[in-house]
Chain A
Amino acid sequence: MPFSLLKYGLNKDYPFEKNADLPAPSALKQHYDVVIIGAGGHGVATAYYLAKYHGITNVAVLEKGYLGGGNTARNTAVIRSNYLTSEGVKFYSESVKLFQGLSNEFDFNIMYSRRGQLTLAHTDAAIRGFRQRTEVNKHFGGKTELIDPQQIRELVPSLNMNPADQPVLAGLWHIDGATARHDAVAWGYAKGATQRGVELHQLTEVTGVDVEKGKVTGVQTNRGKVSCGCVVQAVAGHSSIVAGMAGIRMPITTYPLQAMVTQPVKPFLDPLVSSPALHCYVQQTGRGELVFGGGSDPYPLYNTRSTMDLKESLLAHAVELFPFMANMRLMRQWAGLTDMTSDYSPIMGLSPVDNYYLDAGWGTWGFKSTPICGKTMAELVATGKVPELIAPFAMSRFDTFRQVNEMGATAASH
């Protein structure tokens, strides 16, 4: 037994570790340079990069619940960059690169694991779409290939090649596809940010936004009022509600998205497998559980209840892909509130209110963008200039009919 472990074991402060946790809750100050609404991955990542790269530490992250308890805790952690548009591929590729270095940067294991992601084509039209995505991805340095049924069989021997009588014709094999521990990402950023002086206030709900002469001046919370120089909102499913407090209307609709997890079994499935035609994706976690999910609920709602119809259809499709799953036990089922845009791309950048910045519209696909989104939003706040990488995702694109259409590259792959 290592001596240090014995020393810890006998220490009466055990398991005390310096800087292991977040600072104890404190009173709210009257003024912050930056207020970030929402302590999901996006909010704390923005705070982290503000402190780390721009020396801006008079920052409060206000969270109505607990750190990373929103969609950050509920997502299925697919990380990929095999999108369709050049804007999308460039943006998400940067995020994948940042993810690869996060464990080292945090000195905290986020369990990043590159597994590869396999998307199945069951029609000729899907193959044509995959060809285009392969080329766009390669052009921007990504590792994506179109593979045939034999190669698919070799990669995933347990896959049913004729699920629901829709034969698997080809696959989009995205070698960069990966997964990571979502809670660790939120905690890694939060620890790094608070160690540099950022304040994280949990159980602190923003209930109003003060705007004077078109410029944000402060926020109201259940713990009182604070004034601030600028605000970043990163509240996922509640985007329209919080923006509404600042008088901003958004091109967003909130839909629940459900997912489930089975009991753990021996490792058998390395790649993340997704079938857009069957509205289903399945992957095995490092602990051996199968996580699977599909498309959003069929109509808008602010409620994280589970529905029988979605469970039924999701289970039916998962069992089609991997028939032996019929004998497995389901452990948990849950939902998150996703902020959907009509082009399946995010909304990042300026808003109609000065000094009020938007990080929204992440729908069912925003976990993978946590690092690059935090980094670019921090740059925007610090410099006041919109970084080139996120310029195409401005909310104003809807007013000029310049959508960044990622619908086909998003459905049931997230």
Chain B
Amino acid sequence: MKIINCPLNGPRNSSEFVHGGEVRQMPDPNNCTDKEWADYVFYSDNQIGVVTEWWLHAASGYWFIAERHTASDEILRTYDPSEIYTSRFEFSEKAASGLPEEMTV
């Protein structure tokens, strides 16, 4: 079994982990175009090379980031998201109140 190095729990069997998709900048859902939102939700580079991805250590509920090569499957580095995300993400008040009526119920 493949071993993945969890930044919190150390080396664990890959069956304990869940792939969470590429780390990407989310466009503001209230102000972006439909095309930008579709691109964020459905489209992907999907190329051969090193990708930066979210992974979950399911047993401990811990999300982290891994850099992995999509052809060799080698995991080059794993680290805590705080290396990239230095502050908590807040959904703005303005954006929330901008939702259409039917979507708030």
Contact A303–B19 (Cβ < 8 Å): no
Contact B14–A240 (Cβ < 8 Å): no
Contacts of A240 in B (CB 8 A): 44-47
Contacts of A299 in B (CB 8 A): 19
Question: Is B71's beta carbon under 8 Å from chain A?
Answer: yes
In Å, the complex CA distance between A126 and B104 comes to: 32
Nearest-neighbour CB distance to chain A for B88, whole angstroms, equals: 28
Contact A398–B14 (Cβ < 8 Å): no
Question: Is B1's beta carbon under 8 Å from chain A?
Answer: yes
Contact B42–A398 (Cβ < 8 Å): yes
B73's partner among A244, A301, A308, A401 (CB-CB below 8 A) is A301
In Å, the complex CA distance between A309 and B43 comes to: 29
A-B contact pairs, 30 of them (CB 8 A): A240-B44, A241-B46, A249-B44, A250-B43, A250-B44, A250-B46, A251-B38, A251-B42, A251-B43, A252-B44, A253-B44, A254-B46, A298-B18, A300-B46, A300-B70, A301-B70, A302-B48, A302-B71, A303-B71, A303-B72, A307-B2, A309-B1, A309-B2, A309-B14, A309-B15, A342-B42, A398-B43, A399-B38, A400-B34, A401-B34
In Å, the complex CA distance between A250 and B72 comes to: 22
Question: Is B24's beta carbon under 8 Å from chain A?
Answer: no
Question: Is B80's beta carbon under 8 Å from chain A?
Answer: no
Describe A's contact surface by its main secondary structure. Answer: loop
Instruction: Name the interface residues of A211-246: CB closer than 8 Å to any CB of B.
Output: 240-241, 244
Contacts of A249 in B (CB 8 A): 39, 43-45
A244's partner among B15, B18, B47 (CB-CB below 8 A) is B47
In Å, the complex CA distance between A303 and B74 comes to: 11
B contacts with A, residue count (CB < 8 A): 21
In Å, the complex CA distance between A253 and B22 comes to: 11
Given A303-B71, A309-B15, the answer on whether A401 and B38 have CB atoms closer than 8 Å is: yes
Question: Is B35's beta carbon under 8 Å from chain A?
Answer: yes
Nearest-neighbour CB distance to chain A for B93, whole angstroms, equals: 27
Contact B35–A298 (Cβ < 8 Å): no
A interface list, Cβ under 8 A from B: 240-241, 244, 249-254, 298-303, 305, 307-309, 342, 398-401
Nearest-neighbour CB distance to chain A for B31, whole angstroms, equals: 18
Known: A249-B44, A305-B73, A401-B34. 13 other contacts (CB 8 A): A251-B38, A253-B46, A254-B46, A300-B19, A301-B73, A302-B71, A303-B71, A307-B2, A309-B1, A309-B2, A309-B14, A399-B35, A400-B34
In Å, the complex CA distance between A18 and B49 comes to: 46
In Å, the complex CA distance between A381 and B2 comes to: 45
Contacts of B18 in A (CB 8 A): 298
Given A302-B70, A309-B1, A309-B14, the answer on whether A251 and B47 have CB atoms closer than 8 Å is: no
In Å, the complex CA distance between A309 and B19 comes to: 15
Given A399-B34, A401-B38, the answer on whether A241 and B47 have CB atoms closer than 8 Å is: yes
Contacts of B15 in A (CB 8 A): 309
In Å, the complex CA distance between A254 and B51 comes to: 13
Nearest-neighbour CB distance to chain B for A298, whole angstroms, equals: 6
Contacts of B14 in A (CB 8 A): 309
Instruction: Name the interface residues of B30-67: CB closer than 8 Å to any CB of A.
Output: 34-35, 38-39, 42-48
In Å, the complex CA distance between A411 and B2 comes to: 25
Contacts of A253 in B (CB 8 A): 44, 46
Residue from the set B35, B42, B44 with the largest chain A CB neighbour count within 10 Å: B42
Contacts of A252 in B (CB 8 A): 44, 46
Contacts of B70 in A (CB 8 A): 254, 300-302
Q: Tell me the nearest residue of chain B to A252, going by C-beta.
A: B46
Nearest-neighbour CB distance to chain A for B73, whole angstroms, equals: 6
